Structure 1
């Protein structure tokens, strides 16, 4: 059974990755502006003073403008740094944070490194995803960093995944370790997802 789920995930990721490659430079600029507008409004609605946010790759809906703007507004922004043990360290974004290529070629900050538990103090987590379904199940890129982070948090604040509009789908394949999100942010809207009732 897990093999079938993993194969379905791999196929869906490959399709989504291919689609992201075809997005034009202009569409990316528009998407980044839209994501910034949606995330700014979400931060204001929640009243978040401390957040975590990933630094987008060139094919993801852009988060760099949002991070810069949040820092300029005095919001504490933790940026993730991948570790070989599958956990995330964190670094506080500054107006002149230097960005380097981390593990897997991901953009990561250069700065003082805080351990994995630093994220326990944030009011909002903004995380990447390949797709999210209407129940809040998130399909990541297969490395498990954010699933581990969310699964280990004592008190998890709202978690929003940033995706393109077409990646908010009816259903994604899920495994036991996959963690749901509270909502999604796309370039055109923010959708809160109700927690499933047991």
Structure 2
């Protein structure tokens, strides 16, 4: 990665992180309710019965309400567990399941650990992001876990990044290893990018 691209990514991530931390509790709760509605509609639209998602941190778009409801409806939800080698293991979400801090400090499930290939069986991947641009290019938080996962999948299902509305931007800095997404889900809308975009 060039120094110019790396600097641009760091600057944008710092700005986005600060904006997230300035949100009020009521704004976060409202966003979580809206996000659940959008994600429920996406599941129905794609007829997804097995998905991957992530346990949100307090500053991220809230996924926990959606995950609990999906598990309650019989959807199989895989949650990521970080590994020291940069790959992701997975665990099946359970209602009221225990949570611990992962290698990056983010919440992760406690339970039977499935290997990295477990995610190959899902109908839909919901991934975190710092921002996504209008071409579907995703800017992650710099650790590369999801870029590696997406780049290694033989037959990738639809991938939607979960972001706040303000994080759908005109352009993000990109490098060769960065992976585009199929669409985004925000608290107010779902956007699917052109099928001609690279996946």
Q: Tell me the equivalent position of 2:168.
A: 168
Counterparts of 2:63 and 2:180 in 1: how far apart (Å)?
Answer: 21
TM-align CA RMSD? 1.0
TM-score, with normalisation over the residues of structure 2?
0.98
Q: Tell me the equivalent position of 2:35.
A: 35
What is the aligned residue count?
Answer: 198
- Conserved 8 A contact 1:90-1:115: yes
TM-score, with normalisation over the residues of structure 1?
0.98
Counterparts of 1:124 and 1:94 in 2: how far apart (Å)?
Answer: 18
Matched, 1:178 2:178: yes
Q: Tell me the equivalent position of 2:104.
A: 104
Runs of at least 5 residues in structure 1 that lack an aligned partner in the other structure: none
Cα 1:31/1:106, change in 2 over 3 Å: same
Matched, 1:92 2:74: no
Runs of 4+ in 1 over 6 A off after TM superposition: none
Q: Tell me the equivalent position of 1:144.
A: 144
Instruction: Report the alpha carbon displacement of residue 96 of structure 1 after superposing the two structures with TM.
Output: 2.5
How do residues 31-110 of structure 1 correspond to structure 2 at under 5 angstroms? 31-110=31-110
The one-character-per-residue Cα deviations of 1:67-104 (angstroms, maximum 9, x if unpaired) are: 00000000000000000000000000111311111111
Runs of at least 5 residues in structure 2 that lack an aligned partner in the other structure: none
The one-character-per-residue Cα deviations of 1:14-69 (angstroms, maximum 9, x if unpaired) are: 00000001000000000000110000000010000000001110000100000000
Counterparts of 2:86 and 2:28 in 1: how far apart (Å)?
Answer: 29
Q: SS of the counterpart of 1:104? A: coil
Counterparts of 2:134 and 2:157 in 1: how far apart (Å)?
Answer: 19
How do residues 17-28 of structure 1 correspond to structure 2 at under 5 angstroms? 17-28=17-28
- Conserved 8 A contact 1:135-1:196: no
The one-character-per-residue Cα deviations of 1:83-131 (angstroms, maximum 9, x if unpaired) are: 0000000000111311111111100000000000000000000000000
